[in-house]
């Protein structure tokens, strides 16, 4: 229940609507009870109980129902039972007697008209308050779900890059979509039933007790059996629900991977393999769902059968009270049956509440796993805000390894970069080039050592202001399913179109953009799939140019392009790096010949450091070997 109470904590902002819903629910339950209770005087009137058969009157005559005697019989019955104390039974009997004295007075037509009008009013008010109750609860429910989903999504943005390396994308998507949907359905049912059904039970139980306490208590022997079965089924459901949500996240992951890599799937002819893998997961999910449905649906028929069993026994026992012992009148017994059978649906609904709570708790556990993950890269309490980069960046004895690994990725890295310099990093795959650059915007923090910006430890700088100083262009271009204009001005809001066009021209992108169907307003598709690789890269560069950061990080920005695109992108990169401090991760060495400094990494260590002209002369150096390997065909 701890998880579910945590879900309910999101209700606080909507307490006003919850209060209105509860008030509507109370009135709904009262009018619902009144609509049933009014059947007793209606039946008394129709069957003219308490009068000799030969004195049946015409419409204009008075009905002389022995109200006092009837009340005395009932009072005697209630008091002799010993089930209700006098302080409670006396006011109830007085109210009941006053109500009957008002209703059962006048001619037959007058009595019948009053009862019919009261029944009509009771049903009208019941439905009005039922509607208001449902609306206010829906407002609360949808607000809670919105806030949970927003909280999970917002928290994702606070988590470090290492978290996303460990978690599957499909799993995270499933938690924020599928799991929250499970919580939504259960919150709807539970909020509705936890308020309405207990009140309904209290109202109809009060009606039943006012008619016959002994018969009422006899009918309630079903509850211990039902509760035991419901709790057992609920515990089983929570366990199964957790398995089901995990399996659904596996399906989402496969779906995400297949759609993202559809070109590779088709190129390798792996359609059947991927289908079989997907079908295997959906079959497992199918079996788990059926198992849970069997458990969930078992509660209702079992509870109903126990209810009918007790109901039959109750009819037999109550019939004896009417026919043999004359303790109850027939109209009162029928009214009692109406009230008791009105108890059955809310009891059955309450039976499903525990199941819903368990399912919701299992889904909630998966959502709160995200919310409970503490980001390890946060602002220091004494962090300062900076607005510019003025002098140099220094890596000082920097080492790094991932939390879940003992492998050292970077080992005692030391270098300085002056403002305006272009520094390039070269090395084989896995040498630590990308990780080294990822430390600068604090996507990760060094395991050891310091990174200083103008002499300030970057851990002492507010993350947001640190990252505002930097622009990043990567090999895998990330664009959004929005217009070209929105992608170039990403993060800058409603930016002047003249500045956007200026940045696009500097990135050699303007010409192809104006030839698109709607120019700068053209929506480019998910991840920019409507554009070529070179076009996507140039829009990415235009985005970086428009941001105009003093520090640029370019991670193999031209490695996946054809020669023609590379030339265009390289010119754009040169414009981008102009008068900026640039960190360049190079795959093609031809792109870094003019770098002020080239650092060669091998197994996380700096093994060479210098300009292109210096490094190319070291015949035993790694740089020379890499250079010869790339340009062997040109010799």
50-85 confidence digits (pLDDT tens): 444 333 333 433 434 344 344 444 443 444 344 455
Which carries the bigger pLDDT value, residue 300 or residue 126? 126
DSSP 553: E
Reported as a single tens digit per residue, the pLDDT across 427-460 is 888 888 889 999 999 988 999 999 999 999 999 9
% of the chain with per-residue pLDDT over 70: 74
pLDDT confidence of residue 81 = 43
Which carries the bigger pLDDT value, residue 428 or residue 607? 607
Q: Where do the structural domains in the chain lie, given as residue ranges?
A: 2-10+133-371, 419-438+463-634
The pTM of the whole model exceeds 0.85? no
Q: Is the pLDDT of residue 634 over 70?
A: no
Query: Would you say how long the chain is, in residues?
Result: 635
Check: CB of residue 63 under 8 Å from CB of residue 111.
yes
Question: What is the maximum span of the chain, computed from C-alpha positions, in angstroms?
Answer: 130
* Burial classification of residue 402, based on how many CB atoms lie within 10 Å of its CB (0-12 exposed, 13-18 middle, 19 or more buried): middle
Q: Does domain 2-10+133-371 have CATH number 1.20.1560.10?
A: yes
pLDDT confidence of residue 237 = 66
Q: Is the pLDDT of residue 545 over 50?
A: yes
Reported as a single tens digit per residue, the pLDDT across 499-526 is 889 888 888 888 888 988 888 888 887 7
| Cα(287)–Cα(294) distance, integer angstroms | 11
* Burial classification of residue 473, based on how many CB atoms lie within 10 Å of its CB (0-12 exposed, 13-18 middle, 19 or more buried): buried
Q: How confident is the model at residue 226 (pLDDT cuts 50, 70, 90)?
A: low
Q: How confident is the model at residue 410 (pLDDT cuts 50, 70, 90)?
A: very high
Closest CA to 339 of 473, 210, 169, 205: 205
% of the chain with per-residue pLDDT over 90: 9
Which carries the bigger pLDDT value, residue 446 or residue 562? 446
Number of H helices, E strands in the chain: 23, 10
pLDDT confidence of residue 605 = 92
CATH architecture of 419-438+463-634: 3-Layer(aba) Sandwich (3.40)
Reported as a single tens digit per residue, the pLDDT across 238-255 is 667 667 767 777 787 777
| Cα(89)–Cα(48) distance, integer angstroms | 26
Task: Answer whether 2-10+133-371 and 419-438+463-634 agree in fold.
Answer: no
Mean pLDDT of the chain: 77
pLDDT confidence of residue 564 = 56
pLDDT confidence of residue 395 = 94
pLDDT confidence of residue 348 = 65
Q: How confident is the model at residue 414 (pLDDT cuts 50, 70, 90)?
A: very high
pLDDT confidence of residue 99 = 65
Closest CA to 583 of 442, 413, 416, 444: 416
| Cα(237)–Cα(361) distance, integer angstroms | 10
Residue-wise DSSP of 246-291: HHHHHHHHHHHHHHHTHHHHHHTT-HHHHHHHHHHHHHHHHHHHHH
- Average pLDDT rounded to a whole number, residues 369-374: 86
| Cα(28)–Cα(204) distance, integer angstroms | 12
Q: Residue 200 pairs with which residues in a beta bridge?
A: none
Which carries the bigger pLDDT value, residue 460 or residue 334? 460
416's CB contacts (< 8 A; 6+ apart) are 392, 393, 394, 395
113's CB contacts (< 8 A; 6+ apart) are none
């Amino acid at each position: 229940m701890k998880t579910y109470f945590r879900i309910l904590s999101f209700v606080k902002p909507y307490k006003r609507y919850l209060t209105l819903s509860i008030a509507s629910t109370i009135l709904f339950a009262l009018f619902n009870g009144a609509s049933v209770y009014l059947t007793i005087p209606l039946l008394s009137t129709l069957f003219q109980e308490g009068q000799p058969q030969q004195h049946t009157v015409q419409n204009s005559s008075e009905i002389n129902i022995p109200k006092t005697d009837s009340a005395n019989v009932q009072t005697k019955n209630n008091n002799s039972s010993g089930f209700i104390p006098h302080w409670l039974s006396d006011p109830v009997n007085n109210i009941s007697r006053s109500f009957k004295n008002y209703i059962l007075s006048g001619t037959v037509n007058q009595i019948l008209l009053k009862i019919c009008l009261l029944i009509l009013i009771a049903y009208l008010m019941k439905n009005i308050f039922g509607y208001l109750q449902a609306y206010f609860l829906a407002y609360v429910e949808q607000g809670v779900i919105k806030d949970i989903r927003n909280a999970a999504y917002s928290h994702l943005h606070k988590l470090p890059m290492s978290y996303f390396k460990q978690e599957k994308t499909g799993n995270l998507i499933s938690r924020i979509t599928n799991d929250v949907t499970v919580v939504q359905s259960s919150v709807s049912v539970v909020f509705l039933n936890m308020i309405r059904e207990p009140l309904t039970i209290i109202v109809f139980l009060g009606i039943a007790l006012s008619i016959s306490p002994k018969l009422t208590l006899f009918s309630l022997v079903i509850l211990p059996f039902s509760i035991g079965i419901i709790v057992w089924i609920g515990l089983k459901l929570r366990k199964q629900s957790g398995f089901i949500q995990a399996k659904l996240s596996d399906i989402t992951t496969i779906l995400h991977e297949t759609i993202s890599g559809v070109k590779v799937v088709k190129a390798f002819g792996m359609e059947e393999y991927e289908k079989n893998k997907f079908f295997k997961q959906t079959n497992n999910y199918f079996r788990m769902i059926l198992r849970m449905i069997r458990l969930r649906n078992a509660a209702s028929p079992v509870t109903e059968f126990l209810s009918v069993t007790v109901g039959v026994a109750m009819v037999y026992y109550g019939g004896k009270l009417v026919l043999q012992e004359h303790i109850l009148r027939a109209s009162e017994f029928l009214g009692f049956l109406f009230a008791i059978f009105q108890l059955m649906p809310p009891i059955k609904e309450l039976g499903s509440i525990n199941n819903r709570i368990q399912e919701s708790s299992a889904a909630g556990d998966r959502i709160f796993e995200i919310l409970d993950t503490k980001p390890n890269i946060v602002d220091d309490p004494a962090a300062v805000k900076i607005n510019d980069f003025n002098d140099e960046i220094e890596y000082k004895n920097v080492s790094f390894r991932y939390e879940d690994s003992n492998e050292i990725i970077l080992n005692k890295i030391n270098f300085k970069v002056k403002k305006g310099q272009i520094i390039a990093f070269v090395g084989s795959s896995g040498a630590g080039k990308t990780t080294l650059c990822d430390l600068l915007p604090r996507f990760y923090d060094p395991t050891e050592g310091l990174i200083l910006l103008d002499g300030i430890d970057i851990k002492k700088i507010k993350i947001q202001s640190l990252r505002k100083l930097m622009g990043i262009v990567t090999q895998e271009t990330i664009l959004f399913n929005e217009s070209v204009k929105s992608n170039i001005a990403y993060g800058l809001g409603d930016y002047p179109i003249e500045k956007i066009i200026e940045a696009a021209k500097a990135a050699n992108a303007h010409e192809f953009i104006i030839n698109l169907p709607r120019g700068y307003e053209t929506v480019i598709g998910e991840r920019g799939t409507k554009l070529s690789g070179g076009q996507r890269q140039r829009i990415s560069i235009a985005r970086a140019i428009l941001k105009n950061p003093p520090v640029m990080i370019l991670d193999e920005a031209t490695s996946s392009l054809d020669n023609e695109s590379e030339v265009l992108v390289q010119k754009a990169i040169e414009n981008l790096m102009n008068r900026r401090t640039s960190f360049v991760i190079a795959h093609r060495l031809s792109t870094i010949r003019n770098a002020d400094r080239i650092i060669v990494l091998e197994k996380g260590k700096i093994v060479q450091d210098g300009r292109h002209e210096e490094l190319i002369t070291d015949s035993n150096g790694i740089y020379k070997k890499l250079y010869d390997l790339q340009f062997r065909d040109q010799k």
